[in-house]
Amino acid sequence: MITIVDTSLRDGMSSVSHKFTPEQVGAVARGLDQAGVRVIEVAHVIGIGASSIQYGLAAATDIEYVQAAVAAVDRADIAVLYVPGISTLATLDVVRDAGRPRFGSPRTGLRPTVPSSRSAMPATTVCAS
């Protein structure tokens, strides 16, 4: 089985100077979900926790982007990019919690893929399923 991971809501951030709004993220995520994309990656182009003067200030927080995407999809998993040295495991935990299903949600739960704290490689982390 081949799983396509759409990164346009992360990679595309650089083309708009990190100014996607949560509403735009939700609208694009909804369209990708309806098109059958199974994994949609959202975050700052450099990864979660990167919104800064050095890497570019985003229009919203990682939490707001994840929540907007999770709320907009019915089937797709929402993922983020974790890059050690730019983000922290504490930030990953907060963003993953933002993607958790709320009481009464039709979502079945999380399928996180958490990198090792010793990992030097970036990792895509699924926030919600």
Q: For the residues of the chain, what is the DSSP string, one character each? A: ----EE-HHHHGGGGGTT---HHHHHHHHHHHHHTT-SEEE-S-TT-TT--BTTTB--SS-HHHHHHHHHHH-SS-EEEEEE-BTTB-HHHHHHHHHHTSPPTT-S-------PPPTT--S-EEEEEE-
pTM of structure? 0.79
Tens place of pLDDT for every residue, the chain, 129 residues? Answer: 788 889 999 988 888 889 999 999 999 999 999 999 999 999 888 999 999 999 999 999 999 999 999 999 999 999 999 999 999 989 888 888 887 765 444 443 334 444 444 444 455 555 544
